[in-house]
Structure 1
Amino acid sequence: MLNTLSPRLVFCGLVLLAIAAMLFARVYLQGYLGLEACPLCMTQRVFVVLWGMIALVAALHNPRSLGRRVYGALCALAATMGAAVAGRHVWLQHLPEDQVPACGPSLEYMLENFPFAEALRLVMMGDGNCADTVWTLFGLSIPEQTLLVFCVVIAISLWQALREDPREH
């Protein structure tokens, strides 16, 4: 049954998932609860937007065979990079308190005052703000939830890249 799904419909689903994730982060977590995003959270958002944009282009293009596989692989790559950042964030949250890095400058400050490579290195190191668990749902912190979403997107994207196209039969 799943193999009969239109590739365009699957890519539209990935777009909707990215939109829902961003709305949840921006409107609910940041707007309603007043939680500020740390540098690692902002980096994860970049990868959510990236997979969403790739999926949107794929849905609009609606390619067959090789193109569908390329778009699926690119979505999986963006989600894998996001999962790596989320995994780092989860790791920081589970460090013993005496091993948590000191708090650092804001992402905006780093991007304005450091070369990009240095700012990226500092972001990936994380800081004390990244180690705080400020909100949970079903016992999962925000980075753990984000990691789970990235894993779902990786699975869907790889399935989309590797499956037979129902239009080719």
Structure 2
Amino acid sequence: MRKNCSYNFVLAIIFFICLLGAGASFLLQYVFYYNPCPLCIFQRVAVIVTGLVVLVLLLISHKKMLTKIISAVLILIPCAFGIVSAGRQIYLQHLPVDQVPSCGPGLNFLIENNSYFVVLQKVFNGSGECAVVEKLFYIPLPFWSLVMFVMIALLAILGITNKDYI
């Protein structure tokens, strides 16, 4: 392993993780015909936005500590949204059957007919389709998403110290 790897190297690893996450979500939808629920779509948007932020940050020099800290904060914002979305979906999937919210309108209908705040509120309140447990290698998909977002957050934070964690 390289000692004192550059923050751009850490960002490149994060970008690769984002590419894998976004690619896997599209593969599951369009090749394996998994139908994403609104919380799944929020997680997809979070990973794509995180990847785009990282792509822009790769163009910046990260020699100063302040630049690294600002970069980590910019990465953590969409990453936190993804963690909350995945955590909420895991919670909904573990509710007893009689407490699962009923199915609501689709995300497109909600966006077209409500403000963004109302859309966020309704999606995070949950719907029956978000409580359906879809698995990949016997592990629920939102758990995979949660692990990915936590890995990204840890890399962004630990990369600041310029130590050989990777």
* TM-score, reference length from structure 2: 0.91
CA contact (8 A) 2:4 2:162 kept: no
CA contact (8 A) 1:48 1:82 kept: yes
Cα RMSD (Å): 1.7
CA contact (8 A) 1:58 1:68 kept: no
CA distance in 1, matches of 2:104, 2:3: 48
Q: Which residue of 2 aligns with 1:109?
A: 109
Matched position secondary structure for 1:36: coil
How many Å apart are 1:25 and its aligned residue?
A: 0.6
Pairing 1:12-91 to 2, within 5 Å after superposition: 12-27=12-27, 29-65=28-64, 66-91=66-91
CA distance in 1, matches of 2:78, 2:2: 23
Q: Which residue of 2 aligns with 1:156?
A: 155
Aligned residues between the structures? 163
CA distance in 2, matches of 1:93, 1:150: 19
Q: Which residue of 2 aligns with 1:141?
A: 140
Which segments of 5 or more consecutive residues in structure 1 lack a partner in the other structure? none
CA distance in 2, matches of 1:6, 1:127: 43
CA distance in 2, matches of 1:42, 1:105: 14
How many Å apart are 1:123 and its aligned residue?
A: 0.9
CA distance in 2, matches of 1:128, 1:63: 45
Residues 109-140 of structure 1, C-alpha deviations (whole Å, 9 max, x = no match) = 10001122111111111100000012332x31
How many Å apart are 1:4 and its aligned residue?
A: 1.6
How many Å apart are 1:52 and its aligned residue?
A: 0.8
CA distance in 2, matches of 1:89, 1:2: 38
CA contact (8 A) 2:22 2:47 kept: yes
How many Å apart are 1:62 and its aligned residue?
A: 2.8
Matched position secondary structure for 1:95: coil
CA distance in 1, matches of 2:102, 2:2: 48
Which segments of 5 or more consecutive residues in structure 2 lack a partner in the other structure? none
Residues 22-64 of structure 1, C-alpha deviations (whole Å, 9 max, x = no match) = 111102x101110111100011111111211111111111322
How many Å apart are 1:86 and its aligned residue?
A: 0.5
Kindly tell me: are residues 34 and 123 of structure 1, through their superposed partners in 2, closer, same or farther at Cα, counting changes over 3 Å? same
Of all paired residues, the percent bearing the same amino acid is: 29
* TM-score, reference length from structure 1: 0.90
CA contact (8 A) 1:39 1:107 kept: yes
